[in-house]
Amino acid sequence: MAERKVQSNGIELWTESFGDSRDPAILLVMGASAQGIAWPEELIEQLVAGGHFVIRYDHRDTGQSTCFDFQKNPYTLADMAADTVGLLDAYGITAAHLVGASMGGMISQMVSILHPERVRTLTVMMSTPLRPATLESIQQAIQGRTTTEAPLPPPAPHIIEMHMAAASKPPVTRQEHIDFQVKMVRALSGSAAPFDEPDIRRKVERMLERARNPAAAMNHGLVPSATHEQAEALKRLRVPTLVIHGSEDPILPPAHGVAVAETIPGARLLMLQGLGHDFPRPLLGEMARAILTHAGSRA
């Protein structure tokens, strides 16, 4: 593995690569407010063994990448997609297999419609299709407000309750922030594996320690949804697409994954039983095999 900071779209992004750079590239795009290190190394090792050069990175406003004052410098999913394309440029990669999780799946969809020539295949994990008002509806739901436009199911009640409790009494100390994040990861987990609190706590602590500005990650909750034109373009996408979703996803219920597969022409849906909005160790092998089969593998 090799860490590297690159200039992309006028900002600095922290990246980490694995494997042989001569192999076809897989770019892992993480979700909202999450750092690149949230991608499990066990999954990455299997993708490398399958004959791929794998890159993960910190989005703007997360980890060791550039942070913003969102009120002064607001940005969109298209801007975050431009970050991704600039990262490929920095590595000298003409086209890559994109694997995006949660909001990273939306960013990867955006790259695919704006720069289809840069995408060999698209894998959308635990995400939702590009649609107007989608992100705003989710934010309204977790804040306990009535959604004005919600064609897909809202997050589960226990997720909404946790966010509302945190809003009424937000964590203040470092330990309170860690405890809340651990509690949230538990709430997002499915039944595929027992919750490993010590491991999750170590990961949360590591992310907090390496973040330039931990509070900046909340800016991702302010990013606006796709435009109507972008949503319509998704319906005409010709990039080979695999959709992986969990039967127990509590923040983006299964209907969201079904909607992605129904929106993108020719997309294939893999619904994993017991998967929540997480990466349980027992399912990493099945995830890796599906991605490798979709992208092409020498394994």
The catalytic site residues sit at 102, 249, 277
Q: How far is CA 237 from CA 122, 131, 147, 295, in A?
A: 10, 14, 28, 17
Q: Are 174 and 208 in contact (CB under 8 A)?
A: yes
73, two tokens: 């410098």
Sheet with 268-272, strands from edge to edge, namely 2-8, 11-18, 53-57, 25-29, 96-101, 119-125, 241-246, 268-272
What 3-state class would DSSP assign to 35? coil
Is 288 exposed, middle or buried, given 0-12, 13-18 or 19+ CB atoms closer than 10 A? buried
Q: Which of 194, 190, 201 is nearest to 278 (CA)?
A: 190
Q: Which amino acid is at 53?
A: F
User: What whole-number distance in Å separates Cα of residue 39 and Cα of residue 30?
Assistant: 7
Q: Which of 94, 20, 31 is nearest to 55 (CA)?
A: 20
Q: How far is CA 272 from CA 43, 258, 285, in A?
A: 16, 12, 12
Is 2 exposed, middle or buried, given 0-12, 13-18 or 19+ CB atoms closer than 10 A? exposed
Q: How far is CA 104 from CA 18, 36, 171, 241, in A?
A: 19, 10, 26, 14
